A and B are shown apart, each in its own frame.
Chain A
Amino acid sequence: MHKRHTKTVTALAAVVAAGLALSGCTAGGDGNTTADGKTEVIFWQQKFEDYQQAWFKEQVDAYNASQDEVKVTYQVVPADTWDQKLKAAQAAGNAPDVATTSYGRIMPGVAIGQFAPLDELVDPDVLDDIQPNVREFVSTADGTFAYPFLVEPSTVLFYRTDLFAAAGLDPASPPTSWAELVDAARALTKDGVYGMNIAQTAADLGWSSWGLQYNAAGHLPVADDWSAADATDPAYIELAEFYRTLYGEKLMPQEAAYPYADCAPYGEGQVAMTACGSWAIGQLTNDYPDMIPNTAVAAFPSIDGDPTKPTSTLGGWTLTVDGKSKVQQEGADFIAWLLGGETEHLVDFFKTSGYSKYPARVSVSEALSADPEASANPFMQTVSEDIVPFSKAEPTYPWEIALSFATAIEKSMRGEDIQASLETANSEIDDIIEKQKLAGTAPEAG
């Protein structure tokens, strides 16, 4: 009897163990070969506007048709689920071979070995075609870790010329200082239309206010070498007050019905002015064409009216090859073909975007400026002459730091004590620096 028990128990234990072994084994399989013997490259692309999706799909199909060695499997991932999906995939050891990565994510990724260096994988001439200032965003002393696709300023002022005229403001001279912007917003707020629209949640403020943080204080709320927080600069009080005035006086929507990156409130006619990224030009052109004749674009106002101070960071997208990918060469070849090869399809892309984004490659910029339509585009001129030259690169410290400072701004907007909020942010940032051992790890500032 006893024996029979032990036998069954052992058998059962064996079943469980087999199950566990099955789940514990790292037989992820190569999974890099398709049924018809091609090498498979998994490409995750974060979902953007419809016209961008159409362009990407078309290009991937063209690449797959252009040769018979490699099949790029194209997967679109919604922006709001991107982070958790990528992390889960990395944990399981099957991250995508090629992915869209924003500039701010490059350096932290390089620090943990997330990306394969492209120097060995891509023709040097192709890498040298990247705009020198943008190349700094994606390179360290160890090499180049991403191929830039485009840059786009995060913070641009859009305003309704017709409403300006109706309110007795001069559409030809948009506000240039924060004080003027607030006055204009007061004049424009009426008849169910808010004068202004700007980010109001910490998650949006986190990145959209970097340019204005530079604008106010000349630095970000962290020391250059990331050794300590620097969030209590008196200039930040003025920044917080600027946001507080807009929100507190109800010169802007009181609820975040749309994320900052979406300029629908302006397109729908709910606000007379809006801060948004340059990509909003593309959104307006494609979704709200009726608004375009009454829309003007200007650099976002500066704290004291000085137009040479930064107001914007240059965000944008690159393509990266995963550090653990088994098909790094094939992935890099695809990137070189898509972003580093012929310029024609890239010029088309920037045209379709309504010239709301800027190429990160010298030869594409040249091809674009040779295009009469582009040089005649008023929006493009404003952005490339008044905004881009003064813009800063996105900071590369952990997002939590940006969020912490943005939380202080949001608290100020909703009426909490400004000084206290900044001090809280300061001590939170110090705590992050200490726990994540950030002191001295700042990448060499380009």
Chain B
Amino acid sequence: MSAIQANPQPAVFEEQAALIGADAERPKPRRSGRLNRSNLIAYVMLSPMVVLLGIFVWYPLANSVYLSLFEISFYEDPTFVGLQFYEYVLTAAKFWNSIWVGITLVLLVVPAQLIVAFLVASLLRVLSRHTSGFLKTTIYVPTVVSFVVASIIFVFIYRERGGLLNGVLGWFGIEPIAVLSNPDLALGGIAVPALWIGVGVTTLIMLAGMLDIPDSYYEAADLEGAGYFQKTWYITLPLLKNVWLFLLVTLVTATIQQFELPLVMTQGGPYESTTTPNLYIFNQFKDPTPYATSFSLTAALLLFVVLGTISALIFRFVKSDKAIDG
């Protein structure tokens, strides 16, 4: 280890900085004398975080990986089975079904969320200060509602008796629809509260990105006689690329991991149509057999791999086309 390190910026950070265009004003390298004196104080200040992450994240993770090589029993000695459970999980139709449910939920929620957020953010830009302040706060409110409360509200909204949705349909003489008991509709029924909770923050992030675009670009376009849609297509969208990318990755990974909504609203039914990957893992975890314990652990680790793959694919896909760099 050299005593003088010129700005050790790890690759991960490069990735991150590229991702969110962080104009990291990097600290200037200090004189070596000062540098060395930073060591001890740096370790002291960092130690709470390092120790906590070690105990509550890294050690459990290592332990999970280790335990996934065994058939676990809490009453007898665990049996070493090597990679057998990885094979079991990867060949389990229900595991892939849950991944598919997760992806379907992503397709139902994420594009809608991005489009709605973009439209609302565009509206916010042109509103008067006062009105936009009001609207920003309003769309942010659902964000703070917990998934448990949201589940309860929406179960009640969809109810056959006394439900808001079927009540409104009733005014038009439409027969009640049991949304959450219908395998074709239940996932859509879960997508609505997911969208409702998520759209506020997405909008505000999108707006933050829009406000960073210099007005001069638009003024130049105005001189060229560009219309609203042309400006949106040629200026706003390309310059928001980093924001889109950031949102896409975070929303996809968050949505595919959603499990409190289906847990409370449908318990994963009707017949697995709303069993998201995490709910599937959680249900396996609850099952009393030792087999299920090991299965659930391994499935969780594999989901981690699947999520990583999805994120990497999104990066690759978006990185590959060199857009205008704002």
Contact = CB atoms under 8 A, between A and B. Distances in A.
B289 interface: yes
Contacts of B282: 84
B155 to A, nearest CB: 9
Interface residues of B, number: 44
Contacts of A93: 74
A400 B75 contact: no
Contacts of A20: 54-55, 59
A253 B181 CA distance: 10
A109 B3 contact: no
Contacts of B285: 84, 87
A435 B270 contact: no
Interface in A216-269: 253-257
Contacts of B73: 112-113
Contact of B160 (A6, A91, A255): A255
A407 B267 CA distance: 13
A15 B47 CA distance: 8
Given A254-B178, A254-B181, A398-B289, A203 B160 contact: no
Contacts of B293: 87, 91
Contact of B286 (A5, A87, A257): A87
B180 A19 contact: no
B1 interface: yes
Interface stretch (B36-44, B117-125, B212-220): B36-44
Contacts of B47: 12, 15
Interface in A3-60: 4-6, 8, 11-12, 15-16, 19-20, 22-24
Contact of B75 (A2, A11, A112, A254): A112
Given A12-B43, A23-B59, A112-B73, A399 B159 contact: no
B287 A8 contact: no
Contacts of B55: 19-20, 22-23
A85 to B, nearest CB: 9
A410 interface: yes
A83 interface: yes
A105 interface: yes
A201 B288 contact: no
B50 A324 contact: no
B271 interface: yes
A272 to B, nearest CB: 16
Which of B36, B47, B286, B290 has the most C-beta atoms of chain A within 10 angstroms of its own C-beta?
Answer: B286
A254 B160 contact: yes
A5 B39 contact: yes
A435 B291 contact: yes
B158 to A, nearest CB: 8
A1 interface: yes
B288 A109 contact: yes
B39 A435 contact: no
Given A257-B160, A414-B270, A108 B59 contact: no
Contacts of A112: 73-76, 289-290
Given A12-B47, A253-B160, A410 B287 contact: no
A323 interface: yes
B286 A1 contact: no
Interface string A304-323: 00000000000000000001
Contact of B181 (A91, A108, A255, A270): A255
B82 interface: no
B75 A410 contact: no
Contacts of B159: 255, 257
A257 B160 CA distance: 9
Which of B73, B181, B183 has the most C-beta atoms of chain A within 10 angstroms of its own C-beta?
Answer: B181
B176 A254 contact: yes
A201 B265 CA distance: 13
B288 A410 contact: no
A83 B288 contact: yes
B43 to A, nearest CB: 5
B51 interface: yes
A64 interface: no
Contacts of B75: 90, 112-114, 323-324
A11 B43 CA distance: 10
A331 to B, nearest CB: 16
Contacts of A197: none
B39 A8 contact: yes
A15 B290 contact: no
B189 to A, nearest CB: 11
B142 interface: no
A110 to B, nearest CB: 10
Interface in A94-145: 95, 105, 108-109, 112-114
Contacts of B178: 254-255
B250 interface: no
Contacts of A12: 43, 47, 50
A20 B50 CA distance: 11
Interface string B278-313: 000010011111111100000000000000000000
Nearest to B59: A20
A402 to B, nearest CB: 11
Nearest to A91: B74
A173 interface: no
B272 interface: yes
B269 interface: yes
Given A5-B39, A19-B54, A257-B159, A203 B267 contact: yes
Nearest to A399: B287
Contacts of A410: 269-271
A200 interface: yes
Nearest to A259: B267
Given A84-B282, A87-B293, A257-B160, A399 B288 contact: yes
The 10 nearest A-B residue pairs measured at CB: A255-B178, A113-B75, A83-B286, A90-B74, A254-B178, A255-B181, A1-B3, A407-B271, A16-B54, A84-B286
5 contacts: A83-B287, A91-B293, A255-B158, A255-B180, A398-B289
Given A255-B180, A410-B269, A414-B183, 7 more contacts: A1-B3, A84-B282, A255-B160, A324-B74, A407-B272, A410-B271, A436-B289
